[in-house]
Amino acid sequence: MRKSRFPAIYLAVITALTFVPIVVTIIYSFNASKITSVWGGFSLSWYKELFRDRDLFRALKNSLILGFAACLISAVIGTLGAVGVKRTGWKINDFISYISRLPIMIPEIILGMVYLAVFSFMGFKFGMLTLIIAHTSFCIPYIFMMVSDRLIGMDPQIEEAARDLGANARQVFFDITLPSITPAILSGLLLSFAMSFDDVVISVFVTGSTVNTLPIKIYTRMKTGVTPEINALAAIMIAVTMIILFLNRLYQRKHD
């Protein structure tokens, strides 16, 4: 019986759709021509131009601060929420889990308008604080889901045995539960950081006039056309992302 070629064709199409744009972006980051669609020869001039662009690096710094702050806060809230839902036997736990995942299902433009209305009503000054609050709120569900899935796979008898041996609730959490869910927390952190770092729609609604994030800065520059400088930035970010994912994969394989 002949094997179907559909899986191989499907894999080839998906791989091409996913990686061809990335490869083209990296190649054109070395383009000597200012026009992205015209190849003018190999050059590193756009990387030199990128590292001289203070405005772009200031926006990158804001995005990193925003991403780390939002992820750390959401990691604490999401982890405690997932552990609390698992340990309590409340009848409304399913409803709490649904509410915790709600920000993922709501379109970003709706969330952006909601945050804008709430922050305006509360009299908040738009800037880094409002960005952190907004980004934290949509990062929490990623941590919550990852940790919840990890907790489902844990054997509850391990924690019960620790309590029988005299461990209190704090010792059980830090010595048994936390080490077991750390890979899930790290995976959730990476995912939520990527979502925060990449966000444009919500950030446009809640940022101030003096605070620019990298996605907003790139978006405003794209109105006048994409230059190889942006391609150079994208190539560096892709390389950093691949390294982080590789290290995360090594960590997970080590602790699985």
User: What ranges do the domains of the chain cover?
Assistant: 52-255
Three-class SS state of 215: helix
Residue with tokens 């489902």: 152
Token pair, residue 28, equals 């054109």
Contact predicate 202/131, CB 8 Å: no
- Look at the chain and count its residues: 256
Output the pLDDT for position 72: 93
Mean pLDDT by 10 residues, the chain (256 residues): 71 85 85 76 84 86 92 92 80 78 86 92 91 92 89 78 78 82 87 87 89 86 75 83 77 68
List the beta bridge partners of residue 31.
42
Output the pLDDT for position 71: 92
Output the pLDDT for position 256: 61
As a whole number of Å, the CA-based R_g of the chain is 22
Token pair, residue 225, equals 């056309």
Output the pLDDT for position 128: 92
What does the alpha-carbon distance between residue 183 and residue 200 come to, in Å, rounded to a whole number? 28
Residue with tokens 């927390």: 185
What does the alpha-carbon distance between residue 183 and residue 189 come to, in Å, rounded to a whole number? 10
Contact predicate 174/140, CB 8 Å: no
CATH architecture of 52-255: Orthogonal Bundle (1.10)
Contact predicate 180/28, CB 8 Å: no
Output the pLDDT for position 136: 93
pTM (two decimals) = 0.80
Nearest to 241 by CA among 22, 16, 11: 22
Give the count of beta carbons closer than 10 Å to the beta carbon of residue 148: 22
* Amino acid residing at 116: L
